[in-house]
Chains A and B, each alone.
Chain A
Amino acid sequence: MGRLSLGQWFEVGIWLVVAGAAFGFSLQFDRSIEMYRFGAAGWPRVIILLIALAALGQFVQDLRTAEDTQPQESGFFDSFSDHGGHFILRMGLTLVLPIVYAALLQGMGYYFLTPFFLAGYLYLTGERRVTALILVPLFIYGTVTLIFTRLLYVGLPIGYWPGFYDLGNWFVVLLRGS
């Protein structure tokens, strides 16, 4: 059998872990239902079984493909390993940034946090001109905020941490003019 890449082993492993974990958690709701023979766990368990079978099917296909002289398809880690640590760090931060934004959104509020989020995204993706880093986020933030807060009256998170709540409230009052 040919050699598989680390990414391909990782893929099949992840799917089997997902299937195993899903099955394990299904024990929590594996209770019978009087009017329905298969219970609450029947349908998910069929899906879990099919996931395991499909993952093994993909694994077998990868093994057979590895026997050919054709190059391996790129796996999970392959294209990352083509680049240095700097690339991995920047991409890692780019992926983490939205999660950090979502985590802070409730406390700090949309009105305070969003321009920094947008500027951070631009900076991580390579924009270095200071005017662009300031003006582009402000323009986008201003336009979207004006439309949704002033015109459409869509409520956005104003934050509840001390200071941020007052700032968010002040901003909404300013925009809506009331």
Chain B
Amino acid sequence: MEQFIAGALTLVSSPLSVGIFFAGLMGGLLFGAIPGISMLTLAAIFLPFSGLLSASDAIMFYSVLYCSGTYGGAVTAILFNIPGAPENAPTAFDGYPMTQQGKAGKAIGAAVLCSAFGGTCSVILMMVATPFLADIAVSHFGPPEIFALVFFGIAVASSVGARTLWKGWLSILLGLLMATVGLDPVAGMERYTFDFVYLLAGLHFIPVILGFFAVAEVLVQAERRVRGSYNMPKFATSFPTWAEFWKLRVAVGRSVGLGFFSGILPGVGATLAAFLSYNEAVRWSKNRENFGKGELEGVVASETANNAATGAAMIPLLALGLPGGALTAMMVGVFQMHDIEPGPLVFINTSDLVWVVFAAMFFANIAILVLGFVETKTVLHLLRIPFPFLAPGILLLATVGAYAVRNLVMDVGVMFAAGILAFFLRRTGYSIPGIVLGLILGKLGEQNFAQAMQLVSYDFVVFATRPIVAVLLLASFATIVTNVYRALKGSRKVIGL
């Protein structure tokens, strides 16, 4: 407790530190909420300048940005069906239908509250248990466990977001196939590069995500306008009531747990957390048929989990130097720019820096609660802008965002090609978030599978002797068998598009 108070006092002692705190907070809220641009863009732009700041200010900026940016991406997911980041994709399943029903305020209000709650719980757990949890994460989670978790995530994600189970699987598998483009993770052999130098590094996920979500949504709305069936979404600023939230307390608690568990694993992160949590909400809900049509619990599950993953993602980063995602990978770079090696010694040599970060993340989540409601009242008015006029702005921001990743025009082309592909896939009931999940988890899954195979000398039976692997694989196969049985019996699950 004393360390937390010392960290908080350090945070407010310097006007520059306070300014950096609010810059990270507002930057995440703003950049995360702009269609086509995400917190990663701001993080990448700021990276060269972070060397000019002190180590604690620089790391604090990124950790606050992580908290606010993860929430910020929910705004565009709900208002425009354009998730600001992959971890906000499940939010759009029910958030966007709520907007179309005139309940945008309720959806965003739920996202604000749940993001703040999930993030705060995660930070508290992080402060209490970082070294202990980091040790468990590393000693009990090796490549076989991470592969099993990825497999489980893919198995559950295949059953949400698509018109049929088979289309859900095809979506995920398409993403996995796209992830194989580039160099194989074992020997660096070229795969599906067709002698294009551009493809050696594989398809970058940011242009693909921008295409699949931002460009595709613009094209879908363009079709409605050309057909003459475009309708402005209804506008309302009603917020969720406390009674509605109290009814969802079990879903919130479960989502905090799933989000924290997923976030603590190196390389897994908030995306899987959000999908797992959404799927479990569907599985345990009494109103399963309402999911995908504007069910508040869907928004709550996704947003609680992805923000709960933010604090947890700091645990492997700080304790072991292992990044949990793109933003935490940049933070490793920030540490190194300041001659600090993230790992166990961080808690000994620079514990004051660590507690400033903890305090900043705690206050950031509290601030999201306040600023989020204020932002909601202003951002909602974006709905008053006719989408035909908003769409060119979205296209342009997406173009700049795609180009800014690697300064390659090819990325812009990939983005538009992905957008056109997604336009056709959406009208035939495939899951775009499923494709994105496959793309993101594909390399992670293959790499860990290859390492696992070499670890166990290709003896699959050894998997049964590792309890975590056995449980996850059994759960995965049970999920697959159950879903296939239902599909063959003819009952179709229609959850979101």
List the interface of chain A (C-beta within 8 A of B): 7, 11, 15, 22, 25-26, 29, 31, 33, 35-38, 40-41, 43-44, 47-48, 50-51, 54-55, 57-58, 61, 64-65, 73-76, 79, 83, 87, 90-91, 94-95, 98-99, 101-103, 105-106, 110, 114, 117-118, 121-122, 124-127, 132, 136-137, 140-141, 144, 148, 152, 154-157
Chain A CB within 8 A of B427 CB: yes
Sample 15 A-B pairs with CB under 8 A, ordered by A number: A11-B428, A15-B170, A36-B450, A36-B454, A38-B453, A40-B184, A40-B187, A51-B170, A61-B488, A87-B226, A91-B222, A94-B222, A141-B396, A152-B45, A156-B400
**Contact B413–A43 (Cβ < 8 Å):** no
Question: Which residues of B lie under 8 Å from residue A26 when comparing CB positions?
Answer: 191
Question: Which residues of A lie under 8 Å from residue B458 when comparing CB positions?
Answer: 37
**Contact B173–A51 (Cβ < 8 Å):** yes
6 more CB-based (< 8 A) A-B contacts, given A47-B173, A65-B490: A11-B428, A36-B187, A44-B192, A87-B227, A125-B225, A125-B391
In the bound complex, how far is the Cα of B405 from the Cα of A156, in angstroms? Answer: 11
**Contact B388–A122 (Cβ < 8 Å):** yes
Q: Using a CB-CB cutoff of 8 Å, which residues 219-267 of chain B contact chain A?
A: 219, 222-223, 225-227
Picked from A35, A61, A90, A118, the residue with its CB within 8 Å of the CB of B454 is A35
Chain A CB within 8 A of B124 CB: no
**Contact A157–B409 (Cβ < 8 Å):** yes
Contact with A along B394-422 (1 / 0, CB 8 A): 01110110011001010011011101100
Question: Which residues of B lie under 8 Å from residue A90 when comparing CB positions?
Answer: 226
Cβ distance B33 to chain A, nearest Cβ, rounded Å? 15
Cβ distance A119 to chain B, nearest Cβ, rounded Å? 9
**Contact B427–A105 (Cβ < 8 Å):** no
Q: Are A98 and B396 CB-contacts (below 8 A) given A44-B177, A91-B223, A103-B413?
A: no
Cβ distance B42 to chain A, nearest Cβ, rounded Å? 9
Chain A CB within 8 A of B365 CB: no
Question: Which residues of A lie under 8 Å from residue B453 when comparing CB positions?
Answer: 36-38
Chain A CB within 8 A of B103 CB: no
**Contact A40–B450 (Cβ < 8 Å):** no
> Across the two chains, which residue of chain A brings its CB closest to B194?
A25
Picked from B180, B388, B413, B490, the residue with its CB within 8 Å of the CB of A126 is B388
In the bound complex, how far is the Cα of B195 from the Cα of A29, in angstroms? Answer: 12
Chain A CB within 8 A of B174 CB: yes
**Contact A148–B177 (Cβ < 8 Å):** no
Q: Using a CB-CB cutoff of 8 Å, which residues 467-492 of chain B contact chain A?
A: 484, 487-488, 490, 492
Cβ distance B282 to chain A, nearest Cβ, rounded Å? 20
Question: Which residues of A lie under 8 Å from residue B409 when comparing CB positions?
Answer: 102, 105-106, 157
> Across the two chains, which residue of chain B brings its CB closest to A8?
B428
Cβ distance B497 to chain A, nearest Cβ, rounded Å? 12
**Contact A98–B419 (Cβ < 8 Å):** yes
**Contact B400–A144 (Cβ < 8 Å):** yes
**Contact B487–A57 (Cβ < 8 Å):** yes
**Contact B227–A99 (Cβ < 8 Å):** no
Report, nearest first, the 9 A-B pairs whose CB atoms are least far apart. Answer: A58-B166, A98-B416, A102-B413, A40-B184, A40-B189, A54-B169, A118-B392, A57-B166, A106-B409
List the interface of chain B (C-beta within 8 A of A): 45, 163-167, 169-170, 173-174, 176-177, 180, 184, 186-187, 189-192, 194, 215, 219, 222-223, 225-227, 388-389, 391-393, 395-397, 399-400, 403-404, 407, 409, 412-413, 415-417, 419-420, 423-424, 427-429, 446, 449-450, 453-454, 458, 484, 487-488, 490, 492
Chain B CB count within 10 A is highest, among A58, A114, A152, for A58
**Contact A58–B395 (Cβ < 8 Å):** no
Question: Which residues of B lie under 8 Å from residue A110 when comparing CB positions?
Answer: 399, 403
Question: Which residues of B lie under 8 Å from residue A50 when comparing CB positions?
Answer: 169, 173
Chain A CB count within 10 A is highest, among B164, B226, B446, for B226
**Contact B219–A157 (Cβ < 8 Å):** no
- Provide the main secondary structure of the chain B interface: helix
**Contact B449–A43 (Cβ < 8 Å):** yes
**Contact A40–B395 (Cβ < 8 Å):** no
Q: Are A122 and B412 CB-contacts (below 8 A) given A40-B186, A95-B423, A98-B419?
A: no
**Contact A125–B403 (Cβ < 8 Å):** no
Question: Which residues of B lie under 8 Å from residue A74 when comparing CB positions?
Answer: 427-428
Q: Are A154 and B222 CB-contacts (below 8 A) given A58-B170, A98-B420, A118-B395?
A: no
**Contact B490–A29 (Cβ < 8 Å):** no
Question: Which residues of A lie under 8 Å from residue B169 when comparing CB positions?
Answer: 50, 54, 57
Q: Are A33 and B192 CB-contacts (below 8 A) given A61-B166, A94-B219?
A: no
Q: Are A47 and B222 CB-contacts (below 8 A) given A11-B428, A31-B189?
A: no
**Contact A140–B187 (Cβ < 8 Å):** no
Picked from B45, B215, B389, B419, the residue with its CB within 8 Å of the CB of A136 is B389
In the bound complex, how far is the Cα of B426 from the Cα of A74, in angstroms? Answer: 12
In the bound complex, how far is the Cα of B225 from the Cα of A94, in angstroms? Answer: 11
In the bound complex, how far is the Cα of B458 from the Cα of A35, in angstroms? Answer: 11
> Across the two chains, which residue of chain B brings its CB closest to A32?
B187
**Contact B412–A102 (Cβ < 8 Å):** yes
Cβ distance B402 to chain A, nearest Cβ, rounded Å? 9
In the bound complex, how far is the Cα of B446 from the Cα of A102, in angstroms? Answer: 32
Question: Which residues of B lie under 8 Å from residue A117 when comparing CB positions?
Answer: 395
> Across the two chains, which residue of chain A brings its CB closest to B490?
A64
Cβ distance B2 to chain A, nearest Cβ, rounded Å? 41
Cβ distance B164 to chain A, nearest Cβ, rounded Å? 6
Cβ distance B421 to chain A, nearest Cβ, rounded Å? 10
**Contact A47–B413 (Cβ < 8 Å):** no
Picked from B177, B400, B413, B415, the residue with its CB within 8 Å of the CB of A48 is B177
**Contact B392–A76 (Cβ < 8 Å):** no
**Contact A156–B403 (Cβ < 8 Å):** yes
